[in-house]
Structure 1
Amino acid sequence: MTARDPIGSKPDGPRITVEVPVLRVGAGSSDYEGLGRFADSLRKPQGLHMTLLHVGILDDLAADITAWTKGLSTPEKTLPEIASWLTELPVLQGFLGKSDKLIPLGGGRLRGLHVEVPQEVHDYQALLVQGLHVLLDELGLDNIEDFILSSPALGYRSPRWLPHIAVGRARSRHEPAMEIAPVAIEFGDSRIRNREALPLP
């Protein structure tokens, strides 16, 4: 599932995601820095990552769930359950991917590398989404697919996951996808961003 890329506004709390860190783009730093020809404000290499599942700000997600269930599932109940589910997720081992295309993200405000990843990465991401469905069902939600696509906290634009790495700002809102020289990308093990912000399960 593809989440909206937050731009401009500061979140009211840490965003929780399941992601894989980028360890290396191409043969070295010069390969990544070369992308500066196509994007402004290139992100620092050590901060690059690929999101597998966007969970969002937990307090906002709990509020969305409370509203959807008309108060039956309260934050006191949902937050520990969400935290427990996240911390018990299996770890996806590091892997290699590749990219030969820059694509628009965030409504055209960002540029990102479209990444080809092994099938096991798609399978793991599908497992995350399936697990999210089960979790929401256990929390008393109905029409779960509708909830996922309409929850402002989750912030999904599309039910289809597009493997990508945001690398910088687009120079204009109308820049199309662009072919680039192929680069190999090394990813580390999956992790929970802002794990320390999770409530105790």
Structure 2
Amino acid sequence: MHSAPRITVEVPVLRVGSGAGDYEALGNYVDALRRPQGLHLTLLHIGVLADFARDIADWTKGSTTAGNAAGTTVAWLEGLPVLAGFAARAERLVLLGGGRVSGLEVEVPQHVRDYQVSLVKALHELLDALLVDNVDDFILSSQALGFRYPRWTPHIAVGRPKSRDRGPWDIEPVAVEFGPSRIRNRQFLPALDAGGGCRDQDLGLPGAGGGQ
């Protein structure tokens, strides 16, 4: 298990329903309901930066070093446009992570779906710039990225399922308010060196493994 923080592009949940009671009512379906202050909807998962950089270095057989892959990725993340806050709706719970997590399935506006598609397209462009060939194959095989499904399902992980059933479960419809998009764990991104890369020690990699 990784202790290093995972990097994602996400939107924070500001409010579920019209008050605390609307969220707490999900406890009828979910065990260990998560604190509402930490809820979010993931738009793009990058994973542990060092792992992502190492995946690229391995795939390119060293043509792109881990340090340069990490540095380019950090600069790319910092340059992503911000999605403004928006309102959405949820009316059912679904199972995630092989059935270990319950999530609110969220009906997001079309412009949010368009933004998420633009992130995936930008990821393709990033990988092209990093000399990754067969980008689709890389995305599906990268352990760091963890892409398991071809279609994005907007959801908010809220706790553990009470039932052993596979669901989904209809709930009383609730409005969900989201804040502007942000980079999760941004404060843990390493600083760039003069050449636009990251030092191996900043990534937690062995001295000879990645950067120059």
TM class by shorter chain equals over 0.9
1:66 paired residue among 57, 63, 71: 57
Check conservation: 2:105, 2:156, Cα contact below 8 A. Answer: yes
**Unaligned 5+ residue runs, structure 2?**
193-212
Q: CA deviation at 1:172?
A: 4.5
Q: 1:140: Cα distance to partner? A: 0.4
Q: Note if 1:96 corresponds to 2:87.
A: yes
Root-mean-square deviation over aligned CA pairs: 1.0
Cα distance change on mapping 1:147 and 1:174 into 2, 3 Å: farther
The aligned runs of 1:69-148 (5 Å cut-off) are: 69-148=60-139
Equivalent of 1:186 in 177, 182, 197:
177
**Normalising by structure 2, what TM-score?**
0.88
Partners of 1:179 and 1:12 in 2: CA distance: 35
Q: Is the 8 A contact 1:149 1:159 kept in 2?
A: no
Which TM-score applies when normalising by structure 1? 0.93
Give a deviation string over 1:119-140, Cα, whole Å, max 9, x none: 1100110110000000000000
Q: Matched residues in 1 for 2:184 and 2:63: separation?
A: 29
Identity of matched residues, %: 59
The residue aligned with 1:54 is 45
Whether contact under 8 Å (1:21, 1:188) holds in the other structure is yes
Paired amino acid for 2:21: S
The answer as to whether partners of 2:139 and 2:145 remain within 8 angstroms in 1 is yes
Instruction: Note the alpha carbon deviations across 1:18-59, whole angstroms, 9 max, x for none.
Output: 000000000110000000010100000000000000000000
Other structure's SS at 2:24 match: helix
Shift of 1:177: 0.4
**Contact 1:18–1:192 (Cα < 8 Å) also in 2:** yes
The match for 2:9 is 18
Larger gyration radius, structure 1 or structure 2: 2
Displacement of 1:159 in angstroms is 2.0
Aligned-residue offset at 1:93: 0.3
Q: 2:142 aligns with which of 121, 129, 151?
A: 151
2:36 matched to 1:45? yes
Letter of the aligned partner of 1:99 in structure 2? Answer: A
Where structure 1 has 5 or more consecutive residues not aligned to the other structure, the ranges are 1-9
Equivalent-residue separation in structure 1 for 2:24 and 2:148 (angstroms): 29
1:162 counterpart = 2:163: no
Moved over 6 A (4+): none
In structure 1, distance between residues paired with 2:108 and 2:145: 23
Contact 2:29 2:163 in 1 (8 A): no
Task: Tell me how far 1:193 sits from its aligned partner.
Answer: 0.4
Once the two structures are overlaid, the 10-residue window that deviates more, 69-78 or 46-55, is 69-78
1:12 Cα shift?
Answer: 3.1
